[in-house]
Structure 1
Amino acid sequence: MFAEDSQAKSIAEQRVANSQSETIDEALTEPVTQDKKQGWHATKPVQKLYNFMIACRNMVYHNEFKTLSGGRSVKQGFQLRPAVVTMIDRHDTDLKQYRLTMDDWRVLQETLEFLQPFYEVTKLLEGDEATLDETQEKMHFLISHYKEQEAKHATHTAFLSAIDTSWILFNKY
Structure 2
Amino acid sequence: MAVYQNGRAHEGSQFNYGKFELVNLNSISINGGLKHSGKFVHDTEETLKKNDLVMVLSDVGHGDLLGRVALIPEDNKFVLNQRVALLRSNKTVVPEFLFYFINAHQKYFKSQGAGMSQLNISKTTVENFTNYVPIYKEQFKIGQIMEKLDHLITLHQRQPFSPNN
Do the structures match in fold with TM over 0.5? no
TM-score, normalised on structure 1? Answer: 0.24
Query: Relative to total residues, which structure has the larger strand share, 1 or 2?
Result: 2
Higher percent of residues as helix: 1
Over alpha carbons, which structure has the higher Rg?
1
